[in-house]
Amino acid sequence: MKLCIVGITGLVGSELIKVLNESSMTVDLFIPVASEKSKGKKVLIRGNECTVVTPAEACDMKPDIAIFSAGSAVSKEWAPRFAEKGCFVIDNSSQWRMHNEIPLVVPEINADTITHETKIIANPNCSTIQLVLALSRLHEAFGIKRIVVSTYQSVSGTGVLGVKQLMDERAGIDGKKAYPHPIDMNCLPHGGSFLENGYTTEEEKLILETRKILRAPQIQVSPTVVRVPVTGGHSESVNVEFERPYEIADVYKLLSETPGVTVQDNPVENLYPMPLTAKGKNETFVGRIRRDNSIANGLNLWIVADNLRKGAATNAVQIAEWVARNV
């Protein structure tokens, strides 16, 4: 088994190394990949010192699986080349997500969409992953009609520059900016770029990806994306309207039985999910579970996950593990 990691020097690349160190997947050769300027650098994976190579060199090595975390441009150019060599490409960018022939996968929900022919597999957007994972079994049981979601997204979702801007501002340093306004002591209702309809690209992803993963094009999704001064972990305030009535006890039961979901919901003891306690963990945490009495079959949830873990690296490694076992 030859496993390639494209974008090894980025935030997600660093997190991929941590997740792979925890994974039991058998790998005989790790192939770390970055741009030409990083060629020859050494990275430590599972105690082995590995030399960083370029995408062209890695492609020639014919890896079995390649995890891409280097942005859409790199994925657009190189994912098809790797796939042509028989490699399964798991892509973290938005490049391939909405292509009909390419599976968009959260393994706990729709790993069955992966076949021997689907050489390129898209990893969903971080905010989408935690949302659909928490809602998947509830949708099966009660049928989701509408979702209203407001996100509270970490600066790490923007990459190294987003974290640097926050840390610079806290240190009083006038450095390079990832955002058009200060982020420290502030909230920006702005994720991605604005579209003609007034929504942002990040909000559009929540709409389209949710429908694709849940195989439910009829679900109505109303999103608002907000960037907050947190370094690790996305939070979501979610209001769901179901097609059918539900009992709150059944909601707790279904959430508790959903693989990858941990219920943290005891307000009397001040227990609820927070990015601070979710950071570095692979689970998606759900709390503040309560009926919305303003609408028939309404439910409110608070969903939190580490966006670099389940929102990116963990989900990608789980897909790789599934491919290694089943394809």
Same-domain check for residues 66 and 148: no
pTM of the shown model: 0.97
Say whether both 20 and 112 belong to one domain: yes
d(CA 97, CA 103) in angstroms, rounded, equals: 7
Q: What is the average per-residue pLDDT within 207-217?
A: 98
Residue 180, pLDDT score? 97
What pLDDT does 189 receive?
98
**78 and 140 part of one domain:** no
Query: Are 104 and 212 members of one domain?
Result: no
Residue-level pLDDT at 92: 98
Instruction: Give the position of tokens 């109505």.
Output: 220
Task: Tell me the average pLDDT across 79-89.
Answer: 98
As annotated, the active-site residues are 126, 234
User: Do 321 and 242 share a domain, yes or no?
Assistant: no
pLDDT at 151: 98
User: In whole numbers, what is the pLDDT of the chain averaged over residues?
Assistant: 97
If asked whether residues 40 and 173 sit together in one domain, one would say no
Residues 6+ apart with CB under 8 A from 232: 154, 156, 275, 279, 280, 306, 307, 308
Identity at 74, one-letter amino acid code: V
The CATH code of the domain that includes 317 is 3.40.50.720
Q: How far is CA 54 from the centre of its chain?
A: 25
Dmax (CA) of the chain: 60
CATH number, residue 285: 3.30.360.10
Give the structural domain span for 8: 2-124+312-326
- 96/183 same-domain check: no
Total domain count, the chain: 2
pLDDT band with cut points at 50, 70 and 90 for residue 223: very high
Q: What pLDDT was estimated at residue 281?
A: 97
Average pLDDT over residues 307-321: 98
Question: Quick one: 167 and 85 in the same domain?
Answer: no
